[in-house]
Amino acid sequence: VDELTKSGHRAWAVRCDVTDPESVARMAQSASSLLGGVDILVNNAGVAASSRLLKQTLEGWEQLFAVNVTGTFLCTKAVLGGMLERNWGRVIN
């Protein structure tokens, strides 16, 4: 962010836990306030399994699913209403 702002670009960062609905809602509200709405959402949060399936724990699987699938759902749901109101938007998965 510092490099971008020093070179004359607008940039900001918001910490967000994509598995937490409240954190996602705060992120979406912050983005909407700063930008006047979200036109493009890039769902790029993701984790990979650290072991083979037979060694994968249920806890590890649930975390992977929470980030990769539920996080995508929550982030998309958080911004989709505004996109529909403006009759424009893109979601990239």
| Mean pLDDT across the chain | 95
Q: pTM of the entire structure? A: 0.88
* Structural domain range at position 42: 2-92
Q: CA of 79: how far to CAs of 1, 27, 59, 65, 93, in Å? A: 22, 10, 29, 21, 14
CATH number at residue 32: 3.40.50.720
Looking at this protein, which amino acid is placed at residue 12?
A: W
Could you give the number of structural domains in the chain? 1
* Closest among 50, 52, 27 to 38, alpha carbons compared: 27
pLDDT band at 50 (very low <50, low <70, confident <90, very high): confident
Joined together, the tokens standing for residue 12 give 């900001």
72: its two tokens:
């995508």
